[in-house]
Amino acid sequence: MSAIALKRVRKSFGDKTVLHGVDLEVREGEMVGLIGASGSGKSTLIRLICGLERMDRGTEGRIALFGRETQKDGRFCEHSEVLRRDVGVIFQQFNLINRLSLLTNVLAGRLGRIPRWRGTLGLFPQDDRVKALQALERVGLIAQAHQRASTLSGGQQQRGAIARVLTQQARLILADEPIASLDPASARLIMSTLREINRQDRTTVIVSLHQIDHAFEHCDRLIALKDGRVIHNGPTGAITPDDIADLYGVEAGSLDLVKAPSKIGPSRPPLGAYPGNGLDRQDGLAARLAVNA
């Protein structure tokens, strides 16, 4: 089944057209890199897929998630809100509430699946607390569960955002420049974490990136946008340095990171290389800690 299907998707802001009739399909279980220069339409495309933006009215476009339409002809469909519960979004600026604990931020991933009154009062069921702690355990942050979000490093906050979409049990993860403000070590850890979630849970992941080396290393397929149009859509190894140079408007010889993309390909970094990444742990620590959460 297709996780995402877009047909003739068009989006404008005032007189400026950002996306020009985009057609795309992403299958369930894929990890796709979305690349392109600033202003190419990457963030707008992600916001349309997750329902934060609406297509232009009067157009004949459509957006479908998991075989069911969420937008059609510039209008949201009746069941779009239910489908969006299965879509987790990771933003560049983490979007954690600084004054709340990391655990409470992660529990926010359950808000779409519990009665509104429970969410308003912060009365999350015990099972949800277990899920949140298990998610923190997977991303190596179980020890920081009760710290205020404001005390965490940027890399830790972004891993907290990943734990939030794990707690949400999202079938589709949309990551919009998730490593843009991180140091190289933290960026590599975030990308390897997303890749492991994709491999282990078969969760569909679309990640918007400016860092081409990470796109080559972790993504099975690349979709390249330029001026609101798809100019490349295919396996990672099929894109060439000349393609990348044209995409970013630079000389091919200046792109040291993409001299031989076909030899880079997606890979599985060793988890042991990144201290604190507990993706493979199954020791039940979270379930035991939940009693005191």
We report the CATH number of the domain holding residue 194 as 3.40.50.300
pLDDT score at 282: 41
What integer pLDDT is reported at residue 211 of this predicted model? 87
For residues 221 and 234, the answer to whether their CB atoms sit within 8 Å is: yes
pLDDT for the residue 121 = 79
Instruction: Spell out the per-residue pLDDT of the chain, length 293, in tens.
Output: 899 999 999 999 999 999 999 999 999 999 999 999 999 999 999 999 999 999 998 888 999 999 999 999 989 998 888 787 899 999 988 889 999 999 999 999 998 887 887 877 778 899 999 999 999 999 999 999 999 999 999 999 999 999 999 999 999 999 999 999 899 999 999 999 999 999 999 999 999 998 889 999 999 999 999 999 999 999 998 988 888 888 887 755 555 544 333 333 334 333 333 334 444 444 455 555 554 45
Q: How do residues 213-222 score in pLDDT, each as one tens digit?
A: 999 999 999 9
| Structural domain that includes position 194 | 2-292
- Split into its structural domains, the chain has a count of 1
Query: How high is the pLDDT of residue 271?
Result: 36
Q: What are the structure tokens assigned to 175, written together? A: 């990551």
Q: What is the 3-state secondary structure (H, E, C) of the chain?
A: CEEEEEEEEEEEECCEEEEEEEEEEEECCCEEEEECCCCCCHHHHHHHHHCCCCCCCCCCCEEEECCEEEEECCEECCCHHHHHCCEEEECCCCCCCCCCEHHHHHHHHHHHHCCHHHHHHCCCCHHHHHHHHHHHHHCCCHHHCCCEHHHCCHHHHHHHHHHHHHHHCCCEEEEECCCCCCCHHHHHHHHHHHHHHHHHHCCEEEEEECCHHHHHHHCCEEEEEECCEEEEEEEHHHCCHHHHHHHHCCCHHHCHHHCCHHHHCCCCCCHHHCCCCCCCCCCCHHHHHHHHC
At residue 256, the pLDDT reads 52
